């Protein structure tokens, strides 16, 4: 379906006729004429037999043809300003959407194989990929963003409704891509910055998952806690990893999870802290967050909009250039 965003602007199509009517007439050797700035050029144009573009200053048909050529350019410009659009099929959005930023630890400690899927032993990152992917697919009406962190924090997917893009990035992430250490403060600061800068949606949530403690980066957890409190963006924190001391020592897990700091961040932002020591527990955490963040508002309809203003604008520019070329050739 096609529409114009500002259809009232088509009233501007009358403007050239109004101006032509109210401008004073120019008395001269060729009789009455409109007082326009192109008179000098028109006097130089000679009539070319059989030419569509033939104009003459003392020929009334020439005046009319010249006016209508310029009017076509004006018409195309008005069409462009009125913003033609193509509307897609209506999509029902259930409830009010949220901005959810997933902040995931991909330091090398996430390679510890203390999780399992079915009867197969897997590393922590593989379990996170599966459970986070399932969570993303459930949040049909929300915008999802993805930040991955290790030594440094990187925005991998800006907030988007494109769940496929988020899912593909989740499954392609590898432990160590962002470095070996853990900069939780930097990751949380980056998430807060992106959510604060984007004002499209009001409901904003951060889900931060890590298996370690803040041991790198420019922002300390104390600073991250203050930022979280100031911006009042709800933050759910998840600590992953087996609580079995033998397994931790077996996989070289020297540093434990800073549960106190993660719990403080969650409490300060009216979120919650969860500890997940298995794939099943991690899945339950995501399910619980999904239930806590359910939408309770009425359904609404949205349509994808494609802007087409550039088409009449380009046509106006090309027609104006063609007209200028023809007039120059006729001199």
Q: What number is the average pLDDT over the span 162-169?
A: 92
Label residue 300 by pLDDT band (50, 70, 90). Answer: low
Do 280 and 69 form a contact (C-beta atoms < 8 A)? no
Residue 275 confidence (pLDDT) above 90: yes
Note the pLDDT of residue 174: 94
Label residue 103 by pLDDT band (50, 70, 90). Answer: very high
Note the pLDDT of residue 21: 81
CATH fold of 93-300: Rossmann fold (3.40.50)
Residue 278, phi then psi, degrees to nearest 5? -155, 165
Residue 98 confidence (pLDDT) above 70: yes
Domain boundaries, the chain: 2-87+305-329, 93-300
% of the chain at pLDDT higher than 90: 42
Do 214 and 221 form a contact (C-beta atoms < 8 A)? yes
Question: What is this structure's pTM?
Answer: 0.60
Label residue 136 by pLDDT band (50, 70, 90). Answer: very high
Please choose, from the candidates 63, 197, 208, the residue with its C-alpha nearest in 3D space to the C-alpha of residue 148.
208
Label residue 202 by pLDDT band (50, 70, 90). Answer: confident
Cα–Cα distance for residue pair 110/125, rounded to 1 Å: 5
For 119-132, what is each residue's pLDDT tens digit?
899 999 999 999 99
Residue 33 confidence (pLDDT) above 90: no
Residue 294 confidence (pLDDT) above 80: no
Residue 252 confidence (pLDDT) above 80: no
Residue 281 confidence (pLDDT) above 60: yes
Q: What number is the average pLDDT over the span 3-23?
A: 87
Q: What number is the average pLDDT over the span 236-253?
A: 66
Do 109 and 123 form a contact (C-beta atoms < 8 A)? no
Residue 268, phi then psi, degrees to nearest 5? -65, -20
The mean pLDDT value of the chain amounts to: 81
Note the pLDDT of residue 148: 96
Q: What number is the average pLDDT over the span 191-216?
A: 86
């Amino acid at each position: 379906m096609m529409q114009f965003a500002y259809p009232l602007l088509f009233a501007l199509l009358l403007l050239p006729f109004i101006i032509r009517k109210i401008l004073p007439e120019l008395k001269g050797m060729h009789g009455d004429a409109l007082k326009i700035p192109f008179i000098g050029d028109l006097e130089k144009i000679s009539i070319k037999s059989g030419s569509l573009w033939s104009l003459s200053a003392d020929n009334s048909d020439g005046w009319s043809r010249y006016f209508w050529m310029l009017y076509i350019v004006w018409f195309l410009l008005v069409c462009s300003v009125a913003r033609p659009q193509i509307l897609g099929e209506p999509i029902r959005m259930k409830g009010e959407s949220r901005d959810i930023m997933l902040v995931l630890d991909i330091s090398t400690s996430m390679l510890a194989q203390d999780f399992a899927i079915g009867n197969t032993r897997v590393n922590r990152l593989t379990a996170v990929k599966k459970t986070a992917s399932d969570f993303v697919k459930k949040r049909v009406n929300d915008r999802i963003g993805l930040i991955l962190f290790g030594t440094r924090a990187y925005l991998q997917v800006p907030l988007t409704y494109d769940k496929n893009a988020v899912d593909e990035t989740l499954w392609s992430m590898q432990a160590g891509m962002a470095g070996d250490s853990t900069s939780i403060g930097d990751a949380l600061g980056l998430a807060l910055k992106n959510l604060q800068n984007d004002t499209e949606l009001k409901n904003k949530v951060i889900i931060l998952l890590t298996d370690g403690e803040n041991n790198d980066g420019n922002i300390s957890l104390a600073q991250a806690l203050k930022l979280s409190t100031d911006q009042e963006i709800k933050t759910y924190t998840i600590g992953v990893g087996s609580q079995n001391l033998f397994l931790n020592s077996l996989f070289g897990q020297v540093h434990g999870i800073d549960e106190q700091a993660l719990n403080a961040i969650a409490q300060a932002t009216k979120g919650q802290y969860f500890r997940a020591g298995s794939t099943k527990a991690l899945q339950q955490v995501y399910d619980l967050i999904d239930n806590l963040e359910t939408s309770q508002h009425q359904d609404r309809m949205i349509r994808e909009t494609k802007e087409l203003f550039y088409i009449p604008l380009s046509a106006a520019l090309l027609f104006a250039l063609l007209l200028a070329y023809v007039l120059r050739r006729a001199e």
